[in-house]
Structure 1
Amino acid sequence: MMSAVTYMWSLMGMMTLIQRFLPQEFTNYLKHHVKKVLRKFWKKDKYCRFHFNELDSKRRTNHLYRVVEMHLRARQIVKGANDLRLSQEENATKISYTLASDETILDQYEGVQLWWTFTAEKSKSENGGEREEKKYTLKMLKTDKPFVMATYMDYVAKSAKEYKRQMRELNLYSCSGDRWKSHTFKHPSTFDTLAMDPDSKQRILADLKAFMEGEAYFKKVGRPWKRGYLLYGPPGTGKSSLIAAVANKLKYNIYDLELTQVHDNAQLKMLLTNTTSKSIIVIEDIDCSLDLTGTRANKMNREKTKMGSERPAQDGGSKVTLSGLLNFTDGLWSCCGMERIIIFTTNHIDKLDPGLLRPGRMDMHINMSYCNFEIFKVLAMNYLAVSNDPLFEEVEKLLQDESLKITPAEVTEIFFQHKNNNNLALHTLVEDMVRRTAGGDPVLLDKADAIEGNVDLDCEITPETN
């Protein structure tokens, strides 16, 4: 046994000297065969290894190599290594950590231990230049090999997919003629900061989770992988903030579709089919966008009676019809693209045509209500960092009065104006609520205040969507 150990150390010493004087290709060749020799001394090697080279035998990118790289970043176990490479792109907000060559880290999954090693060896290319051969090696006990092949590799793939999704930079698209124009989307709204009824919030989160994980289910039941939401409620209740929170949660791009800018159904179809998968299509203020409400037929009949005949649409006006819109939400065209969410918003749900409201078009109807005590507590924490105060009891009593209608946007405007004085902010809010219940005029927000407070503007005040 001692002679074998002596031989091993001698061999390793020779390798150190050889590396200094011989070409890199010959050194790599010797390394490979030295490892084989060393393993012969331990014929009962209890480990097996999987290798993930950056390039395959045809010098093409190996997708599994990238999957492993993203998985290790997602797990953040790389940071526990002692030898790391750090990098950061110019506009990036985070530092990227990767293993240096010959560094090994431990990963554990369902009680199984696995070792990842990164190696980068230089060699001569066919044209005489120098290239770097990178690979990850996964080591495990031979007894764990079936588990790794059947379960662990699926876990690695899902981990990498989630990491890639979280790192995705989002865009907000607006329609410009027949094309979409992109804008960088960096809205701070999240479900943690969103001020809405807690039960409704949990219901939405559960539905979004089921939707994201539902590809196989949608395929099984023969339905397009899409979901439709209708957000309804008065202006200033946070409909736009909810849309931003959904986009940030799912890491989906947003396509903001202004129907009044679409000439006809053909253009509408072209725009909608040019949206990508993993996206949210938003049509705000649907009750004001076009003549798509439940009173359409009555309006047309009145015009016929008054004019004596049906007057043709004016040049330049939108000719988009309700049937054209519905054909995309649940008709044959709805399957053009996967993993899409369609969100409609309205301030007046009672004005909508019943054809828009049925399941399959609007799967969830979400009431964005006036401020209640639960919403107030979220706003107080977000804007004032206050979780409890003697005035909370008074606020709760006032909000129980059904005649008091104050929107979350109006509450946040008061908090924002007095953000440096919590006591004054709460007293001002209570005084405003008391005045409202006594029949006083509510606080009026002008357009600038509404935008600053992230308020949905009523389409009767302005035809623009924010």
Structure 2
Amino acid sequence: MPSTQLTRGIAATTSPVVGPGRLNSLLDRILCLLEKVSDEAFWNSLFGDRVLNLLKRYFGSDVVFLGFIVYLAPIMGYQLHSLFYYLVNYIKERMYVSIQIGKNETGYDAIQQFVATKTAHIRDLRDVEGRCIHDDNDDNDMQRPSPPPKLHLYPLDEIEHKITYKHHTLWVTKKKNGGVGNNNENYYSNNIKDLLGMMNSNPCIQITMRGQDMGLLKGFIQEWIDTHFEKEYGKLTIFKCVPTRYEGFEWRTVGSKELRSFESVILKEGQKEHILKDIQTFRRREHWYSIRGIPYRRGYLLYGPPGTGKTSLVQSVASKVNMNVAIISLSGNMDDENFNVLLQEVPRNSILVMEDIDHCVIKDPNSDNDTSNAKISMSGLLNALDGVVAQEGSMVFMTCNDVNRLQPALLRPGRIDMKMELGYADKTQINKMFWRFMGEDDIEPSNGDDTDAEDAEKSKSKMIYSQELQDLAQKFTDMIPDLKVTPAELQNFFIMNMMDHEDFDLDEDKKKPVDYTYLLDAVPVFLETVARDREQALEHNASRNQKPTPSANTTNDDTKIVNTSSNDTKTVVEDATLVKSDPPKKI
């Protein structure tokens, strides 16, 4: 190790000096030098008689001598202090290496998690930070009481912790204001609290190791980060824009979810495959965009009634292409400046999601009747989406219920490149929803070691089970009207009715499937509930909207909005890159 080599080198150079003969010779030389310096003849030969007499005249006075000492003492003390710390830092640089990780770095939390696992084993531990965290354990029985949170220990600020990793001693310090660069150099704010708080805060973690091998320390920290991300791999990370302490905003990880299966989202034929293919093509053509001078950005708009799978589609697509989700809201104290900065700092490899964009209050500077308290303007929103400083490689998903409430400027190509309507469920969706809850994959395989004969018998029983449900599936599909219910309503129908019959799904004695005709009996009540919900929604909209809404078929220079009625069985998917003469794509 470098430290061992350094210690051996020092010992080798100082070993000849420790002999008694050399030590006596060194002391004799020092005494001779002091005797010579104290002799007046030495100073007379050095400065001469005239200079020596002047020095005796002035420095012979106690007042002048003390004044001279008082004047020079602070200067000499400061210089000695600087020299001392210079030597200390010089020795540390030769004996230690250190790396500082800023709080804004993605590996900051990973290092904190690793240090927390080591903190409990530190001897002579005195001051640490305690956090109560619920451990994620899939084996917990949801019917039992929730287990209490476990106490995890984290390093406090400005306190050095000593840990051992792979037979190397490391010192970890969590600093409030480290030497790493921050993002506040170009920061501007008209709020004095925000400005002072951001300028005086630059937290980081410093890891120090004895030796001169910076690559070894870097490798250790990279192992901690890799271990942390291996645990998180296979999950969908959710980022959300949240307010900070000083009235600003920042991206924060709010949790992780299991990957949403792409097959679990049931839409009309070809819809999800079309949007997935477009995303995969876009991610492969960065060079194609670059050489043609086209901004490398892509925008999508999903519109339709609530419960038609807009948010679920975004989650499943993100899981399919191994990306995360970053959610931002335009309500509250969000203004143009913060929104612009946040879009430039969207977490890496994330899909930006702006939900219910038609319900967000946006200031319209061209309207004289705009009396809203909105802080974000339409011009600020448009410039952030496709302006000069917009992030390259970004993918933005917007969702809304009524596309007619959006301003046409927001829908033009470059901001929204593809529009897709997710409407009420058609017959194909209804049939797929039935098999999603009642299909063969609903039967869990046995954990025992069965023979081939038993496996064949089970496969045969599954085929019989599936065949018996064919007639029931067709009857259920015929009873649900086309384009009248949403997939979310169908999902709730199956969950509520199957939970009521959960103990009767399989006969434990005879191992035969239970008759599921109770689902058909529950369909009339379900349709009545849906009809009442529709009437209530219409009454609510009629009471809120005093004036009629604009026509659905409106055109402008950039975008054509197509309104699909509830009686239309076709779903329209518009590609905004088409010219006006091209018909919209239909799937």
The two structures have a TM-score, normalised by structure 1, of 0.52
Please tell me whether the aligned partners of residues 231 and 345 of structure 1 are also in contact (alpha carbons under 8 angstroms). yes
Equivalent residue, structure 1, for 2:408: 354
Find the aligned partners of 1:425 and 1:179 in 2 and give their Cα distance: 51
Please tell me whether the aligned partners of residues 430 and 480 of structure 2 are also in contact (alpha carbons under 8 angstroms). no
Greater alpha carbon shift after TM alignment, 379-388 vs 246-255: 379-388
Find the aligned partners of 2:303 and 2:351 in 1 and give their Cα distance: 17
Find the aligned partners of 1:164 and 1:211 in 2 and give their Cα distance: 29
Equivalent residue, structure 1, for 2:377: 321
Instruction: Describe the SS at the equivalent of 1:327.
Output: helix
Q: Residue by residue, what CA displacement relative to the aligned partner does 1:394-444 show, whole Å, maximum 9, x if unpaired?
A: 344455545xx211111111100122357256315532466479xx52499
Q: 1:424 to 1:398 in 2, by over 3 A?
A: closer
Give the alignment partner of residue 259 of structure 1, picking from 330, 347, 350.
330
Q: Residue by residue, what CA displacement relative to the aligned partner does 1:247-268 show, whole Å, maximum 9, x if unpaired?
A: 2122222221110124321111
- Give, as a single letter, the amino acid of the residue that structure 2 aligns with 1:182: T
Give the alignment partner of residue 409 of structure 1, picking from 470, 488, 494.
488
Matched residues, number? 283
**Structure with higher RCO (Cα < 8 A, 6+ apart):** 1
Instruction: Describe the SS at the equivalent of 1:423.
Output: coil
Instruction: Describe the SS at the equivalent of 1:241.
Output: helix
Q: 1:265 to 1:297 in 2, by over 3 A?
A: closer
Please tell me whether the aligned partners of residues 282 and 344 of structure 1 are also in contact (alpha carbons under 8 angstroms). yes
Instruction: Describe the SS at the equivalent of 1:426.
Output: helix
Identity %: 28
Find the aligned partners of 1:165 and 1:198 in 2 and give their Cα distance: 33
Find the aligned partners of 1:416 and 1:353 in 2 and give their Cα distance: 39
Q: 1:350 to 1:434 in 2, by over 3 A?
A: same
Greater alpha carbon shift after TM alignment, 182-191 vs 205-214: 182-191
Q: 1:226 to 1:235 in 2, by over 3 A?
A: same
Give, in angstroms, the shift of residue 228 of structure 1.
0.5
Q: 1:190 to 1:261 in 2, by over 3 A?
A: farther
Give the alignment partner of residue 173 of structure 1, picking from 240, 244, 247.
240
- Give, as a single letter, the amino acid of the residue that structure 1 aligns with 2:415: R
Find the aligned partners of 2:519 and 2:266 in 1 and give their Cα distance: 17
Find the aligned partners of 1:443 and 1:351 in 2 and give their Cα distance: 20
Equivalent residue, structure 2, for 1:371: 425
Please tell me whether the aligned partners of residues 411 and 429 of structure 1 are also in contact (alpha carbons under 8 angstroms). no
Q: 1:204 to 1:171 in 2, by over 3 A?
A: same
Instruction: Describe the SS at the equivalent of 1:410.
Output: helix
Equivalent residue, structure 2, for 1:285: 356
Give the alignment partner of residue 392 of structure 1, picking from 473, 476, 499.
473
Greater alpha carbon shift after TM alignment, 408-417 vs 218-227: 218-227
Please tell me whether the aligned partners of residues 394 and 430 of structure 1 are also in contact (alpha carbons under 8 angstroms). no
- Give, as a single letter, the amino acid of the residue that structure 1 aligns with 2:393: E
Find the aligned partners of 2:518 and 2:407 in 1 and give their Cα distance: 42
Please tell me whether the aligned partners of residues 286 and 345 of structure 1 are also in contact (alpha carbons under 8 angstroms). yes
Q: Residue by residue, what CA displacement relative to the aligned partner does 1:88-137 show, whole Å, maximum 9, x if unpaired?
A: xx9899xxxxxxxxxxxxxxxxxxxxxxxxxxxxxxxxx8x9x99xxxxx
Find the aligned partners of 1:207 and 1:238 in 2 and give their Cα distance: 19
Q: Residue by residue, what CA displacement relative to the aligned partner does 1:192-242 show, whole Å, maximum 9, x if unpaired?
A: 111111211111121121022122222122223221110100011111111
Find the aligned partners of 1:382 and 1:284 in 2 and give their Cα distance: 27
Find the aligned partners of 1:395 and 1:322 in 2 and give their Cα distance: 47
Q: 1:358 to 1:321 in 2, by over 3 A?
A: same
Find the aligned partners of 1:427 and 1:184 in 2 and give their Cα distance: 39
- Give, as a single letter, the amino acid of the residue that structure 2 aligns with 1:330: D
Equivalent residue, structure 1, for 2:497: 418
Equivalent residue, structure 2, for 1:210: 281
Find the aligned partners of 1:272 and 1:414 in 2 and give their Cα distance: 39
The two structures have a TM-score, normalised by structure 2, of 0.42
Equivalent residue, structure 1, for 2:520: 427
Unpaired runs of 5+ residues, structure 2, are: 1-134, 139-210, 217-229, 441-465, 506-514, 537-543, 545-587
Matches within 5 A, 1:30-429: 170-176=237-243, 177-291=248-362, 300-302=367-369, 317-334=373-390, 336=391, 338-385=392-439, 388-399=469-480, 401=482, 405-419=484-498, 420=502, 423=516, 426-428=519-521
Please tell me whether the aligned partners of residues 391 and 426 of structure 1 are also in contact (alpha carbons under 8 angstroms). no
Find the aligned partners of 1:425 and 1:215 in 2 and give their Cα distance: 54
- Give, as a single letter, the amino acid of the residue that structure 2 aligns with 1:352: L
Q: 1:428 to 1:234 in 2, by over 3 A?
A: farther
- Give, as a single letter, the amino acid of the residue that structure 2 aligns with 1:415: F
Equivalent residue, structure 1, for 2:49: none
Q: 1:397 to 1:424 in 2, by over 3 A?
A: closer
Q: 1:342 to 1:196 in 2, by over 3 A?
A: same
Equivalent residue, structure 2, for 1:441: 532
- Give, as a single letter, the amino acid of the residue that structure 2 aligns with 1:416: I
Please tell me whether the aligned partners of residues 472 and 517 of structure 2 are also in contact (alpha carbons under 8 angstroms). no
**RMSD (Å), alpha carbons:** 4.4
